[in-house]
C-alpha cells in the first residue's frame, strides 16, 4: 500500500557539506568568513525528488498491511504498528520512564471494543485505588474500573473530573479522598462528568445537593441530570462546538473538546498537571466503548482525530483516563502507590510527547477500524506515527552541520520535509529526506542544541505520515 520511490541517495559527506556551506554563504550574502550575527532566508538545501514515500526496512519488525487487506484489518494492523515496540529506557524523555509505556497493553485496550463484543474483564475490578498524589495539583481515587481525578486550583478550591457511581461512593470515596489531598468537598469549585453514563455522573446529585456545586456536562447529554438519583442541574458545555474550548475552573485552566460518539455529549480534553514549578499537559479521552451505529462511530473517529490534533498542538506529556486501565493510567497509579514519592522525581505519567501521541494514534486507528467494521464500503486513510532522530549535530566555528533520520514503523520516510531549528538564536534550515530517511543541513549558527521537525505528509494512497520532532544537544 506504500508507494516506493526510486532510491535517491544523497550522502552528506564532507565534500557535500562544504558545497552546501558555500551555497548557504552565497545565499546569505556571506563569504567573508563570519561572524554570522544575522541570518537571512536560508535556502532549501535538498529538494524533494518526488512524492512522500516509505522505503521498507525489514529491521523494524513491522511490515505494511498487504493491499488485499480489508479496511478493518488494515487499521488494526496500523494500530499495532503505531503502538510499536517497547522503547529503551534511555529513549524516554526525562523525567518519564519508558517502563510506563506498554505497547501491547495499549494496543489491546484502545482497540478492545473494535475487536470484541464483550466488555473488557478489567471492568469487573471493583477494588479501590486509595487517594494517590499524581502531581503537585492532582490526585486520583476510586474503583479501579472507573475512578475520578481531583485537581487543586490556584484559588485553593478543588475540581473533579468524574463523580463515581452513586451517592454511597461520593460519601465513602470522594469526600475522604478530597480530605486526603488537603481539600474538602465543601471547597469544590465544581465537577465535570466526562459523559452522561451513571458510572461517571452517579455521585453528582449528592455533591450538588450537599455542597451546591455546579455539575458541568456536555449539553447533548444534559437530560440525564433530571433522571439521576438524586437529580442534579447541569451547567451545560456546548456539545455542538467541535473546536477546543478553553475553560477556567477557579484558576484551573483546561481545554475541553466535544467528542460525541461513546455518547452524544461526551467531552475529552487536556488538563494542566503541575510539578516542581512546571506545568505539564495530559490529554484525556472521555468515552471508552465504541458505538454500534455508523453515524456515532464516524463521530467517535472524528473526535479521536481532533483530540490527537489538540494534543499535538499542546505538546502533551502524557494521558489520563477515568477507566484507567484503558491508557495505562492504572499501572502508573499502582507504581505511585508502591513508591509515593516518585511522583516528584520520576513521574510515571510523564511519558513524553512522542509516546503520548503514539498512544492516541492507536485510539485513532482503532476508531477507524470500528467504522470499517460497521461499513464495509468505508475507505479511511491510515494515520501512521513517525519518529525523527538527530544523527549529527556539530558546530564548526559559526557553522552547524545537522542530520536527522525519519522513520515510520515500516521503514524510511523518503522525500520528507525536515526543518532544523537551532537554539537559542532560532536559525532555521529546511531539507528533505533521502531513501534512507536522512535529511541534512549546514547553516550558520552558534547553537547549543538543534530541533529537527518532520512535517506531516501524505503518501500517494492518502496514508498520513504524522509529524514528529526531537531535540539534540550540539556536540
Ligand atoms: Zn460510558
pLDDT tens-place string over residues 147-159:
999 999 877 899 9
Please say which residue of 351, 375, 399 terminates a domain: 375
| Cβ–Cβ under 8 Å, residues 320 and 299 | no
Please say which residue of 317, 344, 375 terminates a domain: 375
Domain count for the chain, please give it.
2
Quick one: 235 and 158 in the same domain?
yes
Determine the Cα–Cα distance for residues 425 and 406; give it in Å rounded to an integer.
25
- The per-type count for the chain, helices as H runs and strands as E runs, is 13, 24
Evaluate whether residue 391 is within a structural domain.
Answer: yes
Quick one: 18 and 114 in the same domain?
no
Evaluate whether residue 109 is within a structural domain.
Answer: yes
The Å distance, Cα 286 to ligand 1 centre, comes to 8
The Å distance, Cα 270 to ligand 1 centre, comes to 19
Quick one: 297 and 432 in the same domain?
no
Task: Please indicate whether residue 474 or residue 99 has the higher confidence score (pLDDT).
Answer: 474
Query: Band of the pLDDT at 97, cuts 50, 70, 90?
Result: low
Q: What is the pLDDT of residue 95?
A: 52
The Å distance, Cα 221 to ligand 1 centre, comes to 11
Evaluate whether residue 78 is within a structural domain.
Answer: no
Looking only at the bridges linking them, the beta strands covering 234-237 and 449-454 are: unpaired
Q: What is the pLDDT of residue 346?
A: 87
The Å distance, Cα 18 to ligand 1 centre, comes to 60
The Å distance, Cα 223 to ligand 1 centre, comes to 15
Mean predicted confidence (pLDDT) in 304-322: 97
Quick one: 21 and 155 in the same domain?
no
Where does residue 15 rank: exposed (0-12), middle (13-18), buried (19+ CB within 10 A)?
exposed
Quick one: 187 and 250 in the same domain?
yes
The Å distance, Cα 232 to ligand 1 centre, comes to 18
Mean predicted confidence (pLDDT) in 431-442: 94
Evaluate whether residue 73 is within a structural domain.
Answer: no
Q: What is the pLDDT of residue 37?
A: 32
pLDDT single digits (tens) 294-309: 999 999 999 999 999 9
Quick one: 170 and 251 in the same domain?
yes
Q: Is the pLDDT of residue 38 over 50?
A: no
**Range with lowest mean pLDDT among 74-83, 271-280, 388-397:** 388-397
Q: Is the pLDDT of residue 75 over 90?
A: yes
The Å distance, Cα 386 to ligand 1 centre, comes to 32
Please say which residue of 354, 375, 396 terminates a domain: 375
Quick one: 335 and 397 in the same domain?
no
The Å distance, Cα 262 to ligand 1 centre, comes to 6
The Å distance, Cα 263 to ligand 1 centre, comes to 7
Helices 353-374 and 103-110, packing angle to 10 deg? 30
Instruction: Specify the CATH number for the domain of residue 29.
Output: 2.60.40.10
pLDDT single digits (tens) 195-244: 999 999 999 999 999 999 999 999 999 999 999 999 999 999 999 999 99
Q: Which residues contact 20 (CB under 8 A, 6 or more apart)?
A: 12, 45, 440, 441, 442
Evaluate whether residue 291 is within a structural domain.
Answer: yes
The Å distance, Cα 213 to ligand 1 centre, comes to 22
Evaluate whether residue 111 is within a structural domain.
Answer: yes
Quick one: 423 and 345 in the same domain?
no
- Residue 128: phi and psi, rounded to 5, are -110, 135
The Å distance, Cα 238 to ligand 1 centre, comes to 19
Cα 231 to chain centroid distance, Å, stands at: 35
| Cβ–Cβ under 8 Å, residues 132 and 337 | yes
The Å distance, Cα 198 to ligand 1 centre, comes to 8
The Å distance, Cα 25 to ligand 1 centre, comes to 60
The C-alpha cell that represents 268 in the structure block: 475529552
- Residue 93: phi and psi, rounded to 5, are -65, 135
Structural domain of residue 424, as residue ranges?
14-58+385-473
The Å distance, Cα 296 to ligand 1 centre, comes to 14
| Cβ–Cβ under 8 Å, residues 459 and 2 | yes
Evaluate whether residue 268 is within a structural domain.
Answer: yes
Q: What is the pLDDT of residue 231?
A: 98
- Beta strands of 224-338 (E only): which ranges? 234-237, 245-249, 252-258, 267-275, 278-284, 318-320
Of the ranges 19-23, 42-46, 237-241, the best mean pLDDT one: 237-241
Quick one: 356 and 394 in the same domain?
no
Quick one: 142 and 282 in the same domain?
yes
Quick one: 279 and 364 in the same domain?
yes
Is the sign of the CA dihedral 261, 334, 81, 244 positive or negative?
Answer: positive
Determine the Cα–Cα distance for residues 175 and 155; give it in Å rounded to an integer.
19
Q: What is the pLDDT of residue 33?
A: 31
Determine the Cα–Cα distance for residues 406 and 468; give it in Å rounded to an integer.
9
DSSP structure class, residue 70: -
Looking only at the bridges linking them, the beta strands covering 411-414 and 267-275 are: unpaired
Quick one: 36 and 113 in the same domain?
no
Query: Band of the pLDDT at 87, cuts 50, 70, 90?
Result: confident
The Å distance, Cα 271 to ligand 1 centre, comes to 20
Q: What is the pLDDT of residue 41?
A: 44
Length of the chain: 475
Of 319, 389, 384, 312, nearest to 348 by C-alpha is 319
Q: Is the pLDDT of residue 399 over 90?
A: no
How many angstroms separate the Cα of 288 from the Cα of each of 120, 272, 390? 11, 22, 36
Q: What is the pLDDT of residue 156?
A: 80
Q: What is the pLDDT of residue 89?
A: 60
The Å distance, Cα 174 to ligand 1 centre, comes to 19
Q: Is the pLDDT of residue 280 over 80?
A: yes
Amino acid at each position: 500500500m506504500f508507494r516506493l520511490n526510486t532510491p535517491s541517495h544523497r550522502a552528506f559527506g564532507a565534500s557535500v557539506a562544504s558545497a552546501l556551506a558555500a551555497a548557504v554563504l552565497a545565499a546569505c550574502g556571506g563569504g567573508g568568513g563570519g561572524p554570522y550575527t544575522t541570518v537571512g532566508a536560508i535556502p532549501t538545501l535538498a529538494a524533494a525528488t518526488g512524492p512522500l514515500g516509505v522505503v521498507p526496512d525489514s529491521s523494524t519488525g513491522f511490515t505494511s498491511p498487504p493491499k488485499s487487506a480489508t479496511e478493518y484489518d488494515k487499521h488494526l494492523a496500523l494500530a499495532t504498528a503505531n503502538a510499536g515496540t517497547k522503547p529503551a529506557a534511555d529513549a524516554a524523555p526525562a523525567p518519564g520512564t519508558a517502563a510506563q509505556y506498554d505497547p501491547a497493553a495499549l494496543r489491546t485496550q484502545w482497540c478492545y471494543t473494535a475487536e470484541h463484543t464483550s466488555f473488557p474483564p478489567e471492568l469487573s475490578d471493583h477494588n479501590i485505588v486509595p487517594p494517590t498524589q499524581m502531581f503537585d495539583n492532582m490526585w486520583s481515587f476510586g474503583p479501579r474500573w472507573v475512578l475520578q481525578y481531583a485537581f487543586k486550583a490556584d484559588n485553593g478550591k478543588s475540581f473533579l473530573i468524574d463523580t463515581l457511581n452513586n451517592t454511597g461512593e461520593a460519601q465513602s470515596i470522594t469526600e475522604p479522598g478530597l480530605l486526603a489531598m488537603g481539600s474538602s468537598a465543601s471547597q469544590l469549585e465544581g465537577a465535570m462528568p466526562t459523559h452522561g453514563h451513571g458510572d461517571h455522573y452517579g455521585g453528582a446529585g449528592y455533591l450538588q445537593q450537599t455542597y451546591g456545586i455546579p455539575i458541568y456536562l456536555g449539553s447533548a447529554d444534559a437530560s440525564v441530570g433530571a433522571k439521576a438519583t438524586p437529580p442534579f442541574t447541569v451547567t451545560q458545555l456546548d456539545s455542538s462546538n467541535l473546536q477546543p474550548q478553553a475553560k477556567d475552573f477557579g484558576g484551573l485552566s483546561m481545554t475541553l473538546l466535544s467528542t460525541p460518539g461513546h455518547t452524544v455529549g461526551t467531552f475529552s480534553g487536556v488538563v494542566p498537571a503541575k510539578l516542581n514549578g512546571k506545568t505539564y499537559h495530559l490529554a484525556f479521552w472521555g468515552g471508552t466503548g465504541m458505538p454500534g451505529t455508523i453515524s456515532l462511530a464516524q463521530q467517535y473517529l472524528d473526535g479521536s482525530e481532533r483530540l490527537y490534533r489538540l494534543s499535538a498542538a499542546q505538546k502533551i506529556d502524557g494521558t489520563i483516563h477515568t477507566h484507567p486501565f484503558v491508557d495505562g493510567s492504572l499501572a502508573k497509579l499502582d507504581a505511585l502507590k508502591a513508591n509515593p514519592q516518585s511522583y516528584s522525581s520520576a513521574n510515571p505519567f510523564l511519558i513524553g510527547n512522542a509516546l503520548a501521541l503514539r498512544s492516541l494514534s492507536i485510539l485513532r486507528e482503532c476508531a477507524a477500524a470500528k467504522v470499517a467494521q460497521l461499513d464495509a464500503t468505508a475507505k479511511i486513510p491510515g494515520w501512521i506515527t513517525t519518529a525523527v532522530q538527530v544523527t549529527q549535530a556539530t558546530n564548526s566555528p559559526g557553522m552547524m552541520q545537522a542530520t536527522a533520520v525519519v522513520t515510520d514503523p515500516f521503514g524510511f520516510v523518503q522525500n520528507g520535509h525536515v526543518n532544523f531549528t537551532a537554539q537559542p538564536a532560532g536559525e532555521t534550515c529546511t531539507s528533505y529526506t533521502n531513501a534512507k530517511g536522512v535529511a541534512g543541513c549546514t547553516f550558520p549558527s552558534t547553537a547549543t542544541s538543534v530541533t529537527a521537525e518532520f512535517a506531516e505528509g501524505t503518501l500517494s494512497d492518502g496514508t498520513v505520515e504524522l509529524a514528529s520532532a526531537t531535540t539534540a544537544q550540539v556536540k
